[in-house]
Amino acid sequence: DTGVSQDPRHKITKRGQNVTFRCDPISEHNRLYWYRQTLGQGPEFLTYFQNEAQLEKSRLLSDRFSAERPKGSFSTLEIQRTEQGDSAMYLCASRTLAGANTGELFFGEGSRLTVL
């Protein structure tokens, strides 16, 4: 297992278009998180899953954003009708709740979105 992978790494789109990002977590990790990071800021929580169940969504998350984890493995994050303010790095992370070091989040490399 090579860690958390995200695809695509970069996406440039025009305002109003829809985009979708994919995240493949570490295989034994049942928790999967999406964060958004803009330049000079810390990762901002968007939503998270335990297996296929979406347990929490940030109050800041617009209804243009939707995330799924249909089989409890990979997850997708879709942004509809993109706006320039959506330009950011979208980070996926996973963790396990089992074992001694259950707190550590393992991040992917991120998907950078640029909305023109």
Please give the residue ranges that form the binding site for another protein (CB under 8 A).
31, 33, 35, 40-45, 48, 50, 56, 91, 95, 97, 102-105, 107-110
Supply the DSSP string of 84-105, one letter for each residue. GGG-EEEEEEEE-SSSS-TT--
Toward another protein, which CB reaches closer, 18 or 104? Answer: 104
Instruction: Name the minimum Å distance from CB 7 to another protein.
Output: 14
Q: Kindly state the smallest distance separating residue 17's Cβ from another protein, in Å.
A: 26
Angle at 113 between CA 112 and CA 116, to 5 degrees: 145
78, 70 Cβ separation under 8 angstroms: no
Give the nearer residue to another protein in terms of CB position, either 49 or 82.
Answer: 49
End-to-end, the C-alpha distance of the chain in Å comes to 35
Shortest approach of another protein to residue 20 CB, angstroms? 21
